[in-house]
Amino acid sequence: MLAQTQSKRIGQWLLMLAATLLLAACGFHMRGAANLPFKTIYLGFAPNSAVGVELKRNIEASGAKVVDDQKEAEANLKVLADTRDKQVLTLNTNGRVRELALFQRFTFSVADTKGAVMIPPTAITLRRVVTYDENQELAKQAEIALLYRDMQSDLVQQILRRLSASKSAIAAENVDPEP
């Protein structure tokens, strides 16, 4: 009986070891800091913009510096639009709101110091659906605020990925065509 229990336990350990090795071998790794193609950037956000503050923090964590003067920056991010919106999706039989769609729309472009476009005007639209109950007004407002914060974090990550991807586009432009 004891031998059976020990062999079962050894089998479980071997199975866990095999699963760990397979996970490590598949190439999975945590997302690290963004690899940005510039050392300095100017962000065209309002000083009190929550998206601007979070983006600045993430850019600085990746090793680049956010500057306050456009002339000192290698890249200039220009905010073309930044809006939040709510739309009613469904109503109940009494005509009261049951579901809302939350939208965050953000459009930006990036140019270098000479004015050459690194990233053309790019629109990012995020959408979340939330159920609504007027009997739980405060809880639903808190949930909506939480969803908007989540959308903001998602937006910042998408902007960072686009900034990182612009590195390959810049490198492709700088390669001399073969004669």
Q: What is the domain partition of the chain in residue ranges?
A: 38-173
Give the pLDDT of residue 177.
47
Q: Span 109-131, mean pLDDT?
A: 93
Does the pLDDT of residue 11 top 60, yes or no? yes
Asked if 160 and 55 touch (Cβ cutoff 8 Å), the reply is yes
> 3-state secondary structure string, 113-140?
CCCCEEEEEEEEEEEEEEECCHHHHHHH
The architecture CATH gives domain 38-173: 2-Layer Sandwich (3.30)
Predicted TM-score (pTM) of the model is 0.73
Does the pLDDT of residue 176 top 50, yes or no? no
Does the pLDDT of residue 32 top 60, yes or no? no
Q: 52: pLDDT confidence band, cut at 50, 70 and 90?
A: very high
